[in-house]
């Protein structure tokens, strides 16, 4: 009897097997679901606030010491997984992290997870009210905050705060991995033109810079200055973003990108993540995503903001109480993202990809004439310019830099969205050029990604002069922006295939 029943059970399995064959045939008619894995996403925040008493970066020496934390600093992570490729994107509330800190964090993440370093894109927000996790504040010692061509120099171990930040950055990615869940993804872009102004102005009459050279362009020339003529470059008013939701439509994370320097308006001694954090908080409020079991993570990355701030120097301008203006900016940007967010068509699966390369660039080294000026300026009892000695000292230190440096250029593919990472404060016109020539339907560039090497003016902006073009503020060859655009577009084309 038992054998008969077993035989009957086997025969009864034939019908489900036939059904399974039919299902498999149908599935192969839909390759996105049959051949690709389930798309998943996870996000997290990791607190990286420093101890009180540390120096606050972003201003001239001597640096003010932190006496109060107005809002905590974070490393915000987003992990995407298409079943074959896993990408991690992290944005850190810091003024400009050196490559060594990013490299240490990536190494730790790769050791502790399955994500290779080339699939991790990390960047700084450039808030000017944070403690900098760099070796030196202003200016850095040569071999400490740069990577020499073909040689990595670590003359001393990372300091306590750097090690803390690296550990928390790695923790952030691990937590985001723990939060991975089936997700759908979409992206879009809005415009917020009222808060972006080119801070470099062409002048009617040239002015003298700290090096004793007459220039036709001035950064931040003063509100209502009668000598200003017109902005020296364009702005990019677009706020781009990608959004991931659970399969039930619950917000998981939004990664946004806006080409605006920090806003500021922070009292001396205050630690703050600036408008980047306020944006995240306001967007969470608009999405009604508070108190979720797995918290929603809003992320604002810094775009191509090297020559952009939110001050209209044509004037007049309103006076703001501390933190008021950054809230205004963050609210307007968050509301525009929320408006476009409601029109997004989400996809249940998109392909992911990553490419990167190291580009060798010449370092701007002072010649003998420039060194002679710098050494003389250091001996003056009364400088001819308020910052003459500052830039004389920086110029002297530049002679110790290597002749060449290698910088990481990186691109991610998220379906028809392209994301570029460049380790400079990139000018808006360069970002606009990348967008115009990108092979992707939409794209944006994250600045200060995987390192920080100062400003990246175009060759034309170098000819006009101004703060962002000065030696030590700009550290690499004058053709660097053109070389970088060429390589980024090549990487975009590679990752799109």
The secondary element (H helix, E strand) that includes residue 40 is strand 40-47
Question: What pLDDT digit, counting tens, does each position of 255-285 carry?
Answer: 999 999 999 999 999 999 999 999 999 999 9
**Looking at the predicted structure, is the pLDDT value of residue 156 above 60?**
no
- CA separation for the pair 204, 230 (Å, rounded): 9
What's the pLDDT at 431?
98
Could you tell me whether strands 270-271 and 68-69 are parallel, antiparallel, or unpaired per DSSP bridges?
parallel
Cβ neighbour number for residue 382 with a 10 Å cutoff: 5
DSSP 247: T
Of 45-59, 146-160, 340-354, 481-495, the one with minimum mean pLDDT is 146-160
Residues 6+ apart with CB under 8 A from 230: 201, 202
Predicted TM-score (pTM) of the model is 0.89
**Looking at the predicted structure, is the pLDDT value of residue 361 above 80?**
yes
* Mean pLDDT score, 194-217: 97
What's the pLDDT at 197?
98
* Mean pLDDT score, 318-330: 96
**Looking at the predicted structure, is the pLDDT value of residue 246 above 90?**
yes
Could you tell me the two tokens for 313?
A: 């120097």
- HSE (side-chain half, CA atoms, 13 Å) at 337: 31
Question: Confidence band (pLDDT; 50, 70, 90) for 61?
Answer: low
Question: What pLDDT digit, counting tens, does each position of 113-138 carry?
Answer: 989 999 999 999 999 999 877 654 33
Could you tell me the two tokens for 440?
A: 């992707």
Question: Confidence band (pLDDT; 50, 70, 90) for 37?
Answer: confident
Question: Which residue would you say has higher pLDDT here, 60 or 74?
Answer: 74
Residue by residue, DSSP assigns 364-418 as ----HHHHHHHHHHHH-SS-SSTTHHHHHHHHHHHTTS-SEEEEEEEEEEETTEE
- CA separation for the pair 335, 326 (Å, rounded): 14
Could you tell me the two tokens for 452?
A: 């920080």
Contact 236, 191 (CB under 8 A): no
Could you tell me the two tokens for 276?
A: 């980047």
Question: Confidence band (pLDDT; 50, 70, 90) for 239?
Answer: very high
Could you tell me the two tokens for 422?
A: 């460049």
The domains of the chain are located at 40-198+229-362+401-496
Q: Which residue has the tokens 């190494």?
A: 107
Average pLDDT value for the chain: 89
What's the pLDDT at 316?
85
Q: Which residue has the tokens 């010449």?
A: 362
Contact 315, 224 (CB under 8 A): yes
What's the pLDDT at 469?
98
Buried b (16+ CB within 10 A) or exposed e, 9-20: eeeeeeeeeeee
**Looking at the predicted structure, is the pLDDT value of residue 240 above 50?**
yes
**Looking at the predicted structure, is the pLDDT value of residue 31 above 50?**
no
- Is 168 strand, coil or helix? helix
- CA separation for the pair 77, 273 (Å, rounded): 15
Of 120-129, 194-203, 227-236, 309-318, the one with minimum mean pLDDT is 309-318
Residue from 314, 322, 321, 256 nearest 286 by CA: 256
**Looking at the predicted structure, is the pLDDT value of residue 147 above 50?**
no
What's the pLDDT at 179?
98
* Mean pLDDT score, 135-149: 36
CA distances from 374 to 153, 207, 381, 453, 465 (A): 27, 19, 14, 22, 18
Task: Tell me how many degrees the CA angle 459-463-469 measures, rounded to the nearest 5.
Answer: 75
* Mean pLDDT score, 400-412: 95
- CA separation for the pair 455, 423 (Å, rounded): 9
Cβ neighbour number for residue 29 with a 10 Å cutoff: 8
**Looking at the predicted structure, is the pLDDT value of residue 391 above 80?**
yes
Could you tell me the two tokens for 306?
A: 């090297």
**Looking at the predicted structure, is the pLDDT value of residue 34 above 60?**
no
The secondary element (H helix, E strand) that includes residue 357 is strand 352-362
Contact 295, 350 (CB under 8 A): no
**Looking at the predicted structure, is the pLDDT value of residue 331 above 60?**
yes
- CA separation for the pair 78, 91 (Å, rounded): 9
Handedness of CA 224, 225, 227, 228 (dihedral sign): negative
Contact 95, 127 (CB under 8 A): yes
Could you tell me whether strands 297-302 and 251-258 are parallel, antiparallel, or unpaired per DSSP bridges?
parallel
What's the pLDDT at 489?
98
Q: What are phi and psi of 288, to 5 degrees?
A: 55, 45
What's the pLDDT at 351?
98
């Amino acid at each position: 009897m038992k054998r008969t029943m077993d035989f009957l059970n086997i025969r009864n399995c034939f019908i489900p097997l036939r059904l399974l064959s039919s299902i498999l045939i149908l599935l192969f008619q839909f390759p996105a679901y049959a051949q690709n894995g389930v798309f998943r996403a996870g996000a997290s925040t990791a607190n990286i606030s420093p101890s009180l008493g540390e120096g606050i970066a972003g201003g001239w020496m001597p640096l003010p010491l932190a006496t109060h934390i107005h809002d905590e600093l974070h490393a915000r992570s987003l992990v995407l997984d298409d079943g074959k490729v896993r990408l991690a994107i992290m944005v850190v509330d810091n003024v400009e992290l050196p490559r060594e800190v990013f490299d240490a964090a990536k190494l730790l993440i790769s050791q502790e997870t399955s994500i290779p370093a080339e699939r991790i894109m990390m960047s700084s927000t450039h808030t000017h009210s944070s403690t900098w996790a760099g070796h030196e504040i202003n200016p850095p010692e040569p071999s400490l905050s740069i990577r020499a061509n073909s040689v990595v120099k670590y003359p001393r171990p990372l300091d306590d705060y750097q090690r803390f930040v690296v550990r928390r950055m790695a923790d952030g990615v691990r937590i985001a991995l723990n939060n991975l869940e089936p997700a759908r993804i979409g992206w879009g872009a809005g415009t917020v033109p009222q808060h972006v102004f080119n801070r470099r102005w062409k002048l009617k009459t040239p002015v003298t810079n700290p090096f004793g050279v007459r220039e036709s362009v001035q950064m931040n020339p003063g509100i209502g200055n009668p000598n200003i003529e017109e902005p020296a470059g364009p702005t990019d008013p677009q706020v781009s973003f990608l959004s991931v939701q659970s399969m039930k439509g619950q917000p998981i994370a939004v990664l946004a990108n806006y080409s605006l320097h920090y806003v500021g308006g922070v009292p001396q001694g205050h630690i703050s993540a600036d408008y980047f954090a306020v944006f995240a908080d306001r967007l969470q409020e608009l999405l009604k995503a508070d108190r979720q079991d797995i918290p929603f993570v809003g992320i604002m990355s810094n775009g191509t903001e090297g020559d952009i701030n939110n001050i209209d120097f044509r004037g007049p301008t309103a006076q703001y109480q501390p933190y008021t203006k950054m809230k205004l900016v963050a609210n307007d940007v968050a509301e525009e993202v929320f408006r476009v967010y409601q029109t997004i068509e989400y996809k249940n699966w998109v392909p992911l990809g990553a490419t990167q390369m190291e580009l060798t660039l010449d370092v701007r080294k002072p010649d003998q004439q420039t060194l002679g000026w710098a050494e003389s300026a250091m001996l003056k009892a009364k400088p001819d310019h308020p910052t003459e000695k500052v830039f004389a000292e920086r110029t002297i230190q530049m002679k110790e830099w290597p002749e060449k440096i290698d910088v990481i250029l990186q691109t991610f593919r998220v379906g028809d969205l392209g994301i570029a990472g460049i380790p400079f404060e990139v000018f808006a016109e360069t970002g606009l050029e990348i967008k115009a020539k990108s092979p992707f339907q939409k794209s944006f560039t994250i600045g200060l990604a995987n390192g920080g090497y100062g400003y990246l003016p175009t060759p034309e902006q170098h000819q006009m002069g101004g703060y962002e073009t000065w030696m030590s503020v700009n550290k690499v060859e004058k053709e660097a922006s053109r070389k970088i655009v060429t390589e980024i577009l090549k990487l975009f084309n590679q990752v799109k295939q």
